[in-house]
A and B are shown apart, each in its own frame.
Chain A
Amino acid sequence: DTEVTQTPKHLVMGMTNKKSLKCEQHMGHRAMYWYKQKAKKPPELMFVYSYEKLSINESVPSRFSPECPNSSLLNLHLHALQPEDSALYLCASSHPPGTTTYEQYFGPGTRLTVT
C-alpha cells in the first residue's frame, strides 16, 4: 500500500481564519513533507520532517506552522493567510535519509482558496 491521505480535499478560508491541513500515511515512512503547488508549476518544498523532527524549513512564512505529532501524521496549521497562498498543498512521505530506498509518495492534496 503506497497511500498517503490528506484532509480536507478542499478548503476555503478568510484571511483572519485559523485552519489545519492533515496528512496520514501507514507505510512506515519516517520522513514526511509539505509541498505547495501553484497551477502549471512543479511542487515547491516547504517543510521536511525526519523521525518526527523538523529537518528542513524552506524559509516559509510563519503563517504556516507544521507539526508532526507521530510517525504517521503530519499537520499544517494555517493562520492569517494571504490570497497569494491559494494553491494545492501536497503531503508526501518516504523512508528517511540514510536508507537505500528513495521513493517519495504524494497524497492527493488539499485545494486551498484564501478569500
Chain B
Amino acid sequence: QQQVKQSPQSLIVQKGGISIINCAYENTAFDYFPWYQQFPGKGPALLIAIRPDVSEKKEGRFTISFNKSAKQFSLHIMDSQPGDSATYFCAARKTGTASKLTFGTGTRLQVTL
C-alpha cells in the first residue's frame, strides 16, 4: 500500500515558469515532510522540508505549501531554470520510527528554454 501519492509523474515547464508538484498522504502519524532533488546518476539531495505545524516554508525559489486538513503538501519552484531539470521526490516520516522515510513515486521535471 503506497502511503504517499505524488503527481504528476512528469512535468515540462518553460524557463521562468512555476513548477508545481503535489503529494498526498493518508497516515496522520507522519510528522516531517522533506523534498529531495535527484540528478541522473547522483544521490538524492535534501531540498527543503516542513513539519505539520507550519503551513508554508520558503527557501530561495523553493516553497513547500502544507495543508494538514487535506493531508496534502506541494513543492513550488518559482522562476524555474534548466538547471532545475531533475527528478523530485516527496517523502514523509512517521513519528516514533527510526527516521524511516516513505517516498513518493517521483516527478521528472524538465525545464525548457
Contacts and interface: CB of A to CB of B under 8 A. Distances in A.
Query: 3 tightest CB-CB pairs across the interface, nearest first?
Result: A42-B103, A106-B43, A102-B32
Given A56-B100, A102-B99, 15 more contacts: A6-B43, A31-B98, A31-B99, A42-B89, A42-B105, A45-B101, A48-B98, A90-B43, A90-B44, A97-B96, A97-B97, A97-B99, A104-B34, A104-B46, A109-B42
Interface residues of A, number: 30
Interface residues of B, number: 24
Interface in A8-65: 31, 33, 40-43, 45, 48, 50, 55-56
B52 to A, nearest CB: 12
A96 B43 contact: no
A46 B46 CA distance: 19
Interface in B83-111: 87, 89, 93, 96-101, 103-106, 108
Given A42-B104, A45-B100, A102 B42 contact: no
Nearest to B99: A94
Nearest to A93: B99
A48 B43 contact: no
B54 interface: no
A79 interface: no
A78 to B, nearest CB: 19
Contacts of B96: 97
A70 B39 CA distance: 30
Contacts of B42: 108-109
Given A40-B106, A42-B105, A107-B43, A102 B93 contact: yes
B43 A102 contact: no
